[in-house]
Amino acid sequence: MDKVSIKFFEKLMATISPSGFEGEASQVWAAEARTFTKDVWRDQHGNTYARLNKGGAPRVMLAGHIDEIGVQVTHIDEKGFLYFGPIGGWDSQILQGQRVLLCTKRGRVPGVIGKKPIHLLKPDEREKAVKLDDLWIDIGAQDKKEAEALVSIGDPGAIDANLVALPNGRYVCKATDDKAGAFVVLEAARLLAKLHPAAEVVAVATVQEEIGLRGATTSAYALDPQVGIAVDVTFATDFPSMENDKKRFGDIRLGKGPVITRGPNINHVLFGLLQDTATKKKIAHQIEAEPRGTGTDANEIQLSRAGVATALVSVPNRYMHSPVEMICLEDAALAARLIADTVMSINAKTDFTAVL
């Protein structure tokens, strides 16, 4: 991966974009898209689009959700402590003791998530899992008036955790789920801009996936694609305690390439094209079985209008929905290449109605 793409990845990961408040990340994504296409726009829901070869056939949608899980201020008490609700699915055990950044009209406001110290807990309390109601955000305010001068009810926020590079091309960040996917679809579009596909290609940074796949619903309806490829992260199973779970979730490893999903949420022809392309182009890849809906944007894309030939390509991710989500950047780079090469094999005559 070249320096331009790595710089884009780092800049995107530094943004804060809880579901419903994706503007900061979307602006970074759109600015990068404009370096290789002028056909970039944003809809009133917040989805951002980058199109290549308008009028080509078929229309192919590449979707990666740009939102992350976060928090939202729900109450400010008389002492200036902030109470909050979760945006998306949090493990409350992870939130305690974390630093956060709140996005306000005045800019970013730092704070910490506090709870009663273990020394002050009763023996039976130490055995219980902490609940979100037992946590608060401390921004250092002396009272409610001072807190309200900095923060407003409804302000969103996210964990304050910088991107960290580790050995073997591995990166740790609070929100590779799924800014890695938004990154991949735009990198695939960047490659396709040089390859000149027969298809019309629209990369989409979708919003509000973490609270119900909402952006994929509206953007797929608006675009009316014939083909859709969603890109998300998937659970790596290559860390301690996962040996028995591989029977359920498969043997998915960091650094072994992107993951191609197979199951009822996936069009059989499109799956075959992805797998055949990976084999022909010698792109390292992994296969994941999902006997139900995938719980990703692929769900909504497949069911849009009269149905869309849909696939899911994923980047293996350790420690999902935590401040230390880990991916291998090479897996993301290969995912972009796999998608671009597969799209190049699609034209107006490609039949996606073939049965298994």
Let me know whether 191 and 64 are in one domain: yes
Contact criterion met (CB below 8 Å) for 22 and 169: no
> Number of structural domains, the chain?
2
Kindly state whether residues 48 and 183 are assigned to the same domain: yes
Task: Indicate whether 240 and 149 sit together in one domain.
Answer: no
Q: Is residue 228 assigned to a domain?
A: yes
What pLDDT is attached to residue 122?
A: 83
Among 209, 210, 288, 290, the one annotated catalytic: 209
pLDDT on residue 120:
78
Contact call for residues 191 and 201 (beta carbons, < 8 A): no
Q: Would you state the pLDDT for residue 115?
A: 86
Separation between Cα atoms, residue 147 and residue 149, nearest integer Å: 5
81 domain-assigned: yes
Distance, CA of 183 to CA of 173 (rounded, Å) = 14
Contacts of 106 (CB under 8 A, 6+ apart): 150
Q: Indicate which CATH number applies to the domain containing 223.
A: 3.40.630.10
Note the pLDDT tens digit of each residue in 160-180: 999 999 999 999 999 999 999
Q: Which amino acid, one-letter code, is at 45?
A: H
pLDDT at 123: 83
Tell me whether residue 167 is in a domain: no
Q: Do 336 and 203 fall within a single domain?
A: yes
Return the closest-CA partner of residue 9 out of 175, 160, 166, 156: 175
* Whole-structure pTM value: 0.96
pLDDT the model gives residue 119: 85
* CB-based contact 235:94 (threshold 8 Å): no
Q: How far apart are CA 259 and CA 232, in angstroms?
A: 10
CATH code at 150? 2.40.30.40
Q: Tens of pLDDT along 101-155?
A: 999 999 999 999 998 888 878 888 787 888 888 899 999 999 999 999 999 999 9
Structure tokens at 120: 């002050």
Whether residue 209 lies in the annotated active site:
yes
Print the SS3 string covering 155-194: CEEEECCCCEEEHHHEEEECCHHHHHHHHHHHHHHHHHHH
Among 126, 159, 192, the domain boundary falls at: 159
The ranges of the chain with pLDDT < 50 are: none
Question: Which residues constitute the domain of residue 143?
Answer: 70-159
Which pLDDT belongs to residue 247? 86
